[in-house]
Amino acid sequence: MDQMTMPALRREIHDLAEAADHIRRANRILVMGCSGGGKSTLSLKIASRFGLDYVSIDRDILWLPGWKERGKEEQRAIIVSKVKGERWIMDGTNPSTFDIRLPRTDLVIWVRMPRLLCIWGAVSRWVKWIGRTRPEMAPGCKEKIDWEFLRFIWTFEEKFSPRVVAGLVEHGSEVPVFQLTSRRQMRELLDLLAVPG
């Protein structure tokens, strides 16, 4: 399924200034996208600028030390607790929890970068953090990269994006969605928000 055959997002935002205005007014923002696209960096900058609690699905919900995945029921219970907060920005894509997250979300930012840029982002992040755990990851989960992860990134748009769109349509049809599709667009958005580089 390509973008042309995916269901339409009902409340999609196309204008950067309008997106910036939504961000300024939002109390709860969901940031999602393919690994390596820059969603964690963007989330942290917006959290700092607007005093939102930063929630990382990877760090706070999905992973236990040593890359051990937390049980699904416990993950859902933690998400239920986190979304009750009044002001947050949550970084994580998995549509299986959209039924919990989207009803509490004021705005979705979909960091939808080209796959080569995501591959570059993941590889350069690995080089930067090799042998260490980056701040937005769970303790004891040292930065790693393998062919399975790179394949996930490479096929994300064709395999995963249709599930994301379907989840947005089903659980968040009234939630505004803004798609960031280039680094330039991301920089312009941060400039509009007066976020330091």
Calculate mean pLDDT across residues 162-176. Answer: 93
pLDDT band at residue 196 using 50, 70 and 90 as cut-offs: confident
How would you classify residue 169: left for phi > 0, otherwise alpha for psi between -120 and 50, otherwise beta? alpha
Q: Are 98 and 104 in contact (CB under 8 A)?
A: no
- DSSP letter at 61 equals I
Q: Indicate yes or no: pTM above 0.75.
A: yes
Percentage of residues in the chain having pLDDT higher than 70: 95
Mean pLDDT rounded to a whole number for the chain: 92
Query: At residue 39, what are phi and psi to the nearest 5 degrees?
Result: -70, -35
Residue 102 to residue 99: CA distance in whole angstroms: 6
pLDDT tens digit sequence for 104-157: 999 999 999 999 999 999 999 999 999 899 988 888 899 999 999 999 999 999
pLDDT band at residue 32 using 50, 70 and 90 as cut-offs: very high
Q: What domains sit in the chain, N to C, each tagged with a CATH number? A: 15-192 (3.40.50.300)
pLDDT tens digit sequence for 66-103: 999 999 999 999 999 999 999 999 999 999 999 999 99
What pLDDT, on the 0 to 100 scale, is given for residue 8?
A: 66
